[in-house]
Structure 1
Amino acid sequence: MASLVLPRAGRAPVVDDDGPVWQLDQRSVPTTWVAVWDALRGVPGVTAGPSAVGEPGSRAVLVPSVISPEPGTSFSEGGRPLEPAHLHSPADTSLHIVLPLERVALVVAQGWAIPCPRAVHGTELILFGPRDEAELEVVTALARESVRWSLARNGVTVFGRRGVAETALRSTAGAPSVAGAASPVVATLAG
């Protein structure tokens, strides 16, 4: 997990906490919005799908194997797949993410996000869409951190290519097979 978050330059975007558009100015250009989505959905262990709570046009990352998430780690309610983050439409470009409380305080203090006005646990944030390449790096790192934290808190981790190969070798040597595991398998969170 990244420990340093540099301050965001300039004033914060104007935000409408009633939605459906949260971030009213300083939005990402379309190519940057796509880059944020690619980084978010590229976290191992998630699938892309519609948000359970996001405004029309929102894209969510979901973990269908988790339907009773730990409190504060998902935007969806129990009985629906874990939804640790969603990206709002190109008309908005902000994201909803979850982070541990100590990270929430830092990210807000450095100007990258505001607490979600509809937050229940204090872990929910509105992360501003990036305005340039430097901000894209910070925003995508925070979005990916959010998803990895939520996965870890819910006991969901994924194997990188190397981990899968190593597990396959172990299972052919008489070790328990990953394919037969009843719950998600623990491995690396890198990426």
Structure 2
Amino acid sequence: MRIISGEWRGRKLTSPKGDATRPTADRTRETLFSMLTSRLGSFEELRVADLFAGSGALGLEALSRGAAHCLFVEQDRDAASTIRSNVAALDAGMRTAIESGSVMGLRAAREPLDLIMLDPPYRTGAGEVALDRLLRLGWIGDATWIALETAFNEEPEIAGLTIETSRKVGKGRLTLFRREPACEPA
């Protein structure tokens, strides 16, 4: 597994051993970042989160492309250790925070993030539950983009979020969300 683009293009990343995590395939990651780039234009100075982070490949890709900071959240101990190793190998420690624990353990946000990427276990509904919670806790603002990877036959729906686009890629589906606009009083 390698960084696709940016400052660390071509640099190798390690993956957690075993089958407790499912790293996002290079092709899927490339498609996701193409979808995001066409909407965001640039990752420069974005504050991002990589949730259900596994190896941290999504967040590290965003940092390589210019994101200012990434929060990684991973509950599997070995995977969290792998993220730490990958961050250290890229000398990215000053631009990262790593939370070892469940996404559901996150507290209220001080301010919304610019981009939230989630790659939860397929067919569990964990991504939808997490996004519902993050929306209520202020992690998602009007300008936040959300990228959720699910199994190809899952069609996620989250109250308060609108699907901007969805694309099947191999065994997965990439869905981009935005917060629903607030209704103006009549």
When the two structures are superposed, what TM-score results if normalisation uses the length of structure 1?
A: 0.28
Higher relative contact order by CA 8 Å / sep ≥ 6: 1 or 2? 1
Report the structure, 1 or 2, having the larger strand content. Answer: 2
Give the number of the structure whose alpha-carbon radius of gyration is greater.
1
